[in-house]
Structure 1
Amino acid sequence: MKSKKSFFKPAVIKQDFRQHGWVSIVYFLGLLFAVPLGILQLASQEYILFTDYDNYLKVNTEIQVLLYFSIPVAAALLLFRYIQSESSVDMMHSLPIRRETLYVSHIISGLLLLIVPIMITAIITFFVANSIEGFDGILTLSDLLTWTGLTILLTCMMFAFPVAVGLITGMTTAQAILTYVFLFLPIGLVSLVSYNLSYLLFGFTPIFIEDKVMYLSPFIRFIENWGESEPYSVVELIIYTGITILSFVLGLVFYRYRQLERATEVFAFSFMKPIFKYGVTFCAMILGGTYFSVSGTLNWNWIIFGYIIGALIGYTAAEMILQKTWRIFHLRFLTGFAVYSIVFVAILFSIKTDVFNYETKLPRMDQIEEVYFGESYYLQELEDSDIDIDPYSDSKLYIQDIRNLHEEIIQQRDFIEKQKDDIHLHQLSAVFVYRLNNGEELIREYQIPVNTLQDELKPILEASDYKMNLPEYLQLQRDDVINIQVVPYGPSNQHNPVMITDEKEISEFKKAIEKDFLSQSADDVVSTATPWAYIEMGYKPTNSDTNYMLEGYMVDWKKSYTHVTKWLEEHDYLEKARVDEDDITKAEVTYVPHNPQEDVFMTEEIYESGEKHATISDKETLSTIIYHFSEYSEENMYYVKLTLTDGNVWYGSIPTQHLPDDIKSQVQ
């Protein structure tokens, strides 16, 4: 006996194919153009490195991205467009077909329309790739299967998600907009909230949060990792598979309980309206606060003004969209906005008064297992790289020094917050990452005024645990250096770079750099003096092809590096490796107590604004000046114009304590 119920209707699927089959054709032609035809185009080029295209995602990546994140969405909009029209929805649901059957039939239609072109393209691509000698062994069957599976998953997800979205709204336009809004909302919202918290909470850092939140958007992740053979991790693939299945299930639930008369309304379910209204209000509010914080200094009056204006605009716009009229200004409008304002003010007050003790929280010594101190960028680079180095230290003395510094920062919070935007103040950007015994991490980031906290900073900056995490030290540990260039700092080419290629000399020179690097004092580490030169290390190419440019890394030759200076002198490189007092004919000094204009950062312009000038030509004073000379230092008040023997000039500044008193008296 035949069951009277069926999960799908072949007649519905046939109708979908007749009406929307062109979507499948467009998708097939797009994939055909992007992948197999793209491979043929690459093979026909006269100069091509086939190894640059070692997976199918690298072939016409931009076109592939456009296809995967647009065509499936378009299919979802078209197949379920009838449910957004009053006449169409009444007609379709007057047929003797259950809602579940209609839904499943359209889903099957969509999947067939989208997956069949992928499978045909994969078959064609297999024969095309295998017919080209250059791609033999590079684009393998395994790569093709990976590309096919990933493309099918992305396509199914980008079809299922807008289907579910479309069943909570009554407008096709809203369905399309909300689909992409939801795709980017997690990243945008978390980024905006994190940025706002960075100036609401002392020590809050959004960097690690924003790095992790990128995983919430498959689109952004695909763009970031398109060069990888597998742009998504196994966990991400499982999550995206789960999202796809959940979207199909939610779509079925929404379809089953959706009221047909809600067609043409913005939202088909009442519970979505307050979520949308207050969600838009919140997003607009933090966007307003962000705008007025980045368009000037962190003036709290302007930031609060931005919050108010943003919230008012967002709330008004949301009400107009929901009610589909501009006549929204009534008592209910004012009441709703007032309730939202009260809630937000309470939240803002709790953040600013640090109700949860976020700003003053400091783990006890017995709670800390490991610690990292340094720039957050370096930590991210280490964690993302293949270098097998643990950037965290378990040294109790080092942990205690870092904790002492952190404690002093908390105590001087008010001063540090007032001074953090002062461009004339020498500051060190650093992140504190504590790994606790319970497995949790406590992360804080500050702009540390070096001169104010120099006593607390000194033992940390001089510790090997700190220096050995710096990128300069890590590069010195590499054993694939094949040449070293010493390039003098300065405005002229009167000294050509010193090139070192002898394997023994390279080894000796690296050891000299390492000795100086690890023996730096705290003053050397934070010194703003312009180095003698930068040392560029060239590494073996990562590819055997000789057309590849060599990889390289630069390390500064600081003026305190005595071992480097001695080694260069012993090997007769010193004279060519730097600009010193023998290369300077005179120095002209002027006094500029403050930057003449806040937007002027060129040292030459600041020097020219000086009223009095003194000329120096004796070698002893010139030696002192060039040793402490700094091209960029906003905290100095004495600016220098160096005239070199080849006629070029070099502008910079010099700290007050390193300039003779008689020169100071001449220019003040």
Structure 2
Amino acid sequence: MRSKTSYFNPTLFKKNLARFWPLWGGASFIGALFPLYLLALLIHEGRPLLDNRLEATSLYYDALIYAVPAVSLVYGALCALAVWGWLYNTRSVGMYHSLPITRKGLFATSLLSGLSMMLIPYAVTGALTILVSLAAGVFEPVGLLVTILGVLGDTFFYFATATLVVFVTGNPFAFAAFYFIFHFLAAFAEWLVSRLMTAFYFGVEAAYGGVVEFLSPTMYLTRMLSVYTEHEELLMPDGWIDRGRILSVTLVNGWLIAVYALAGAVLLAAAWALYRRRRSESAGEVVAVGWMKPIFRYGVAFCAAIAGGSLLYTLFCRDIFQTGTTASTVPMAVCMAVAGVLGYYIASMLLAKSLQVFRGSAKGVLGTAVAAVAVCCLIAADPWGVEAWVPEAGELESVTARLYGIHGGPAVATLEDPAGIQKILDAQAAVIAERDALERIWGSGLHRSTAQLHLTFRLKEGRSSAVYRYYDIPVSDGEQPEALRVLAALAADPAFQESSIFGDVTVQGRKNLREARLTGGYVDSLYNPETQSYEGLDLTLEQAGTLEEAVRRDIQAGNFGRTIFLVSGEEYDQAAYNLHIQLNYALELQDSGPNWDSYVQNETISIRLSTYCTETLKALEDLGVLNEGRKLLTHAEQHALESREAGVPFEGDYDPYSFPRSGSAVYPGDAYVYPGEEVDAALLH
């Protein structure tokens, strides 16, 4: 009679579940706490916790997006170690392989054991959640089915990746390291390269773009999956549009879970191929697969070259060899070569489990050093044109520019129209064109202050989400860069200032804004000559509306933003007022949470004035805000007054970002008068 070959051993399956019941039992207990908590709330409140079934679906999807990947990442590794841990001990390997079970039987049985241990806690949590949903009357089968399928896909993928890593390594410590490296190496490598590019490229700031983030599934799923909830719109008697009941709930990009599940099947096949050829003697080794050892050795060397090289350069070379804001190629290449060689020997020691790894390593060390230098020189040469990149206006959805002047600022604006975007791009091009001259000023150490241009490019759909550029422009006592003049023109541009001042109460500044209503205002830092103190004044809705219109006229005339890039501190202090106009708004916003509700939020914008803002100053006088008892003081006039009252000469620098103080209290060393400066006595008294 022919014997049958079994690919599944029920005895071993039951043994695995019985041995590791604290693992899946403890996970089940923790998972059950959430539905039990909801049940306790339901009993305590005596009413449904959610308004309808679709709200429950939204909660299911939120858990699938944020909780399931993170939990499966950690719990999958624990379950894989539980069922495959015997591979890391030579005696256990010999015992298991002496059992009357084929390798196929061991693989299939352990695989099903691990998947069962992963699914049991989800099944317990899901069953209790269904019971609570039924009790609350919010059970929704479609959303529940989608969530179950998503949980199955995530569970299978994460356990498959853990199983593959099990057969790559030979001890549990290496498994833990390799497993998390497997899931996050791509994102970490991209971040390392971006940091190195930042060191070499003028204006390029390190920013993780997520180009290869799909190779880091936990990060990618959390970012790409989302919940879209459509609500019924209700017109309220006061004219506001409110959100009614939920009409539909959709899991956006849910198909990605199925893609990762298919990838998990491929990884599982690779794990079986490795197990078929795995040597029993590999237990205890860091890397159990022979052909993967060079990959491990040179992979560690590569990461060490970039990360360690950058660290060595910062500690020992930057202050000595670097003359500008960008790194010097030769010192960086040497540091990367040294760090790469150290990483090569560290990896060799881990593989050999010995410190005697120097004999016969000359070729590997030389290759590592040459590769590190080549990578450094390649990135420094910038063959991709990253540093000189100026996008076309048609490529961009929007640009956010932040201008930090020598004395004033910041001014922040987000522009979406092509004409406005092009003005910002012209300013960027002007800065890049003077790159070498600006670096020479930085290297000479003659600059006395700095202006800054920070850009955030939002590319159109189908491209990377955002690109960042940060430019520092040194300002010396000599001839000023042409880029400074271009930035000054941009700062006073009407479209730029409109967005900078009113951006928080417009749709361009707040994508979830439905309506903005002016409700009033306030004017502070009005000087009272009689009491010699500062006071504020509340504005009526009519007064606030008049000032808002005047501010917009000044914006269109190019009167705002003219003080930001003034080079002379004396000129700035004579032009900039201490006065701040605050305009208050009530904003109806749409919630970005799972229920997409609308709500009202108060917002206040603060507007700084200068002597150039003629329309606004005239409106303040016409409204009676400015009169004989309430005066405006520029920074120069204020400090002349304080110096006169305190009798203390100024010995430091004035901070243009500080707010004026109420009352007549003056701190020693804080008041000053410019040489030759005269203050209008009629203004002060």
2:618 is the counterpart of 1:580: no
Which residue of 2 is the match for residue 539 of structure 1? 587
Alignment of 1:15-414 (within 5 A): 15-37=15-37, 40=40, 55=59, 67-132=71-136, 144-145=144-145, 147-207=147-207, 209-210=208-209, 216-220=215-219, 233-234=253-254, 236-291=256-311, 298-299=318-319, 301=321, 304=332, 307=336, 310-328=339-357, 330-354=358-382, 358-360=386-388, 369-370=394-395, 375=400, 391=416, 393=418, 398=423, 401-402=426-427, 405=430, 408-410=433-435, 412=437, 414=439
Q: Deviations over 1:287-323 (max 9, x none)?
A: 2344456679944759737535543442332122111
Q: Deviations over 1:251-296 (max 9, x none)?
A: 2222223233222111111222122222222222322344456679
- In structure 2, the gaps of 5 or more residues are 229-249, 323-330, 404-413, 508-512, 567-571, 680-685
Q: Deviations over 1:335-364 (max 9, x none)?
A: 32222111211222233344565545668x
Q: Deviations over 1:580-626 (max 9, x none)?
A: 3698782339xxxxxxxxxxxxxx9x96558xxxxxxxxxxxxxxxx
Q: Which amino acid aligns with 2:633?
A: D
CA contact 2:305–2:336 (8 Å) conserved in 1: yes
2:604 is the counterpart of 1:557: no
Alignment partners' CA distance in 2, 1:9 and 1:316: 44
CA 1:253/1:533 → structure 2, altered by over 3 Å: closer, same or farther? farther
Alignment partners' CA distance in 1, 2:163 and 2:186: 19
Alignment partners' CA distance in 2, 1:234 and 1:60: 10
Alignment partners' CA distance in 1, 2:149 and 2:525: 53
CA contact 2:187–2:210 (8 Å) conserved in 1: no
Q: CA RMSD in A?
A: 5.2
CA contact 2:24–2:118 (8 Å) conserved in 1: yes
Q: Return 151-160 or 464-473, whichever deviates more.
A: 464-473
- Residue 396 (structure 1) shift: 10
Q: Deviations over 1:33-77 (max 9, x none)?
A: 24433663698599x997999625778999878743322210011
Q: 1:424 aligns with which of 449, 456, 461?
A: 449
Q: Deviations over 1:123-162 (max 9, x none)?
A: 2112224545xxx66x865555555444443333332211
2:641 aligned counterpart, secondary structure: strand
Query: How many percent of aligned residue pairs carry the same amino acid?
Result: 19
- Residue 483 (structure 1) shift: 3.2
Q: Return 408-417 or 117-126, whichever deviates more.
A: 408-417
2:300 aligned counterpart, secondary structure: helix
CA 1:283/1:400 → structure 2, altered by over 3 Å: closer, same or farther? closer
Alignment partners' CA distance in 2, 1:607 and 1:186: 55
Which residue of 2 is the match for residue 486 of structure 1? 522
Q: Return 52-61 or 287-296, whichever deviates more.
A: 52-61
CA contact 1:468–1:474 (8 Å) conserved in 2: no
- Residue 174 (structure 1) shift: 1.0
CA contact 1:84–1:263 (8 Å) conserved in 2: yes
Q: Which amino acid aligns with 2:83?
A: L
Q: Deviations over 1:413-463 (max 9, x none)?
A: 633764899672222223578989x99999672415275113333554454
Alignment partners' CA distance in 1, 2:217 and 2:304: 24
CA 1:584/1:455 → structure 2, altered by over 3 Å: closer, same or farther? closer
Which residue of 1 is the match for residue 510 of structure 2? none
- Residue 107 (structure 1) shift: 1.7
What is the TM-score with the length of structure 2 in the denominator? 0.70
Which residue of 2 is the match for residue 516 of structure 1? 554
CA 1:336/1:145 → structure 2, altered by over 3 Å: closer, same or farther? same
Alignment partners' CA distance in 2, 1:540 and 1:439: 31
What is the TM-score with the length of structure 1 in the denominator? 0.72
- Residue 404 (structure 1) shift: 5.1
- In structure 1, the gaps of 5 or more residues are 379-388, 590-603, 611-628, 634-640
2:506 is the counterpart of 1:456: no
Q: Deviations over 1:174-214 (max 9, x none)?
A: 1122112222322222212211211112343433x435566
